Structure 1
């Protein structure tokens, strides 16, 4: 049976408080596992407005309703309103995901700050940000995290090395086609990268006549054949306005015979001895602005 690992990125306070409970209900209805990756520090979503001059950014946001997906208040965090502490205000919802049997891991400390800066920052900055998130995770869950999934699929060499230093066996920090072992400065890391293999809903909607009503058909066509996949969803989207789309996807994947699993379960079925060693690489993905970590 082919597996689809459900990787849930939780970017904002609203996504934590409102999107997580909604997704837990949908996943329970089809007996699906998932990995929830949490933003654990301040919500500075409003800082993302500075990306307006980035090539492709306006084209992307014009295809999706940013205000309805994220909420006007969230878009003011860090601009006209102070950024709330997600880990403090959303801890109960985070623990509820673990209590429901789902794997929980680190997304980031400060989502926009990491996404917009990590590529050019040094080891000290990188490890400080990651340790902030790690300490908060332990405070909330009482146990170290098992995995990491980078905000915006943005990393640097020191971030990959920090994952090794934490002793994590696997992470999902980029985009690609299949698991591999990343190399930094020509040396293989000790952990496995399991990249997101399917396009996200916000990358597809508004392209080639795809809408909220039919986009699930496009994704289901990509999972018709054999082979495992990792699908990234967001609590602000699939746990909000796009919940009906995700429900259709869950039903479609079940009808195709897929096992819907967490990243932990996905990893347990891997044979590390067969995995290629590949260098950390940057590139573009259709439907998304800017460069991100990709599988070479």
Structure 2
């Protein structure tokens, strides 16, 4: 049976406190597994306004109603309001593990990592990762088994550090997509980097914020038809990794995620965690690929990509 691996990025303080518990309830309702990847330092979401000068940034903001989904208060953190400590939400994080879901590292400071890591050196990179690693151990009492990069942004030192942490699998990049969200290479899936032992599980489906508001095949993708569109991408069985966000699918877009869960189960998929997926592929002979970067439809900037 094919699987949908559910990878949940938790970017913000509000997403941790409100979106995460909502997602736990929804996943339990449908008997689905998932991996929650937590941001563990300060919530500096307001600093993301510096991205205004990047090509495609305003287009994405207007399409995805950032203020509606994240809230004006979150968008002021680090600018007009003090940045709250996401790692202080220990009860919410521990409740996820107690509910039977895998937990891992997303980042220390989401905005700082996403906007800087590609250009930074070894010392800076190791410091960022070490802070997240140590905070995770303080909260959960054990080291993390997995990592999913903020904004799908990494550098060679970050991959080296994951190997030194002993992480066996991670999801730090993307598979290339066509304009409609279908895979450019239908065979894209788990692989190893040339300089890393850690198995990479690239996200193989478009995210909701990459699709909403776009014109695809002559039709605007809206909250009313986006689930149906994604389900057309999974009609032919194969394993997929789907990235969702506590701030979106855990809050206002929760009905869409539930529609997807029902649809995937109806299509005959198992919805599982990264750990479960790793257990099924760890003994396979996987392809080896270099570290490459590319842009994806509906998202600004370049990401770690499996070509």
Q: When the two structures are superposed, what TM-score results if normalisation uses the length of structure 1?
A: 0.97
In structure 1, the residue matched to 2:174 is 175
Q: Does 1:206 align with 2:217?
A: no
In the aligned structure 2, how far is the partner of 1:273 from the partner of 1:254?
26
In the aligned structure 2, how far is the partner of 1:113 from the partner of 1:136?
17
In structure 2, the residue matched to 1:60 is 60
Q: Secondary structure at the match of 2:42?
A: coil
In structure 1, the residue matched to 2:125 is 126
In structure 1, the residue matched to 2:160 is 161
In structure 2, the residue matched to 1:248 is 259
In the aligned structure 2, how far is the partner of 1:203 from the partner of 1:27?
23
In the aligned structure 1, how far is the partner of 2:80 from the partner of 2:194?
42
Would you say how many aligned residue pairs link Structure 1 and Structure 2?
291
Q: Does 1:288 align with 2:287?
A: no
Please identify runs of 4+ aligned residues in structure 1 that moved more than 3 A. none
In the aligned structure 1, how far is the partner of 2:282 from the partner of 2:194?
18
In structure 1, the residue matched to 2:77 is 77
Q: When the two structures are superposed, what TM-score results if normalisation uses the length of structure 2?
A: 0.94
Shift in Å, 1:271: 4.8
Deviates more, 1:56-65 or 1:34-43: 56-65
Q: Does 1:32 align with 2:51?
A: no
Shift in Å, 1:274: 2.0
In the aligned structure 2, how far is the partner of 1:181 from the partner of 1:272?
13
Greater percentage in helix: 1
In the aligned structure 2, how far is the partner of 1:295 from the partner of 1:136?
30
Unaligned runs of 5+ residues in structure 1 are: none
In angstroms, what is the RMSD of aligned CA positions? 0.8
Mapping of residues 217-236 of structure 1, within 5 Å: 217-236=228-247
Q: Secondary structure at the match of 2:255?
A: helix
Residue among 277, 286, 291 paired with 2:288: 277
Unaligned runs of 5+ residues in structure 2 are: 176-187
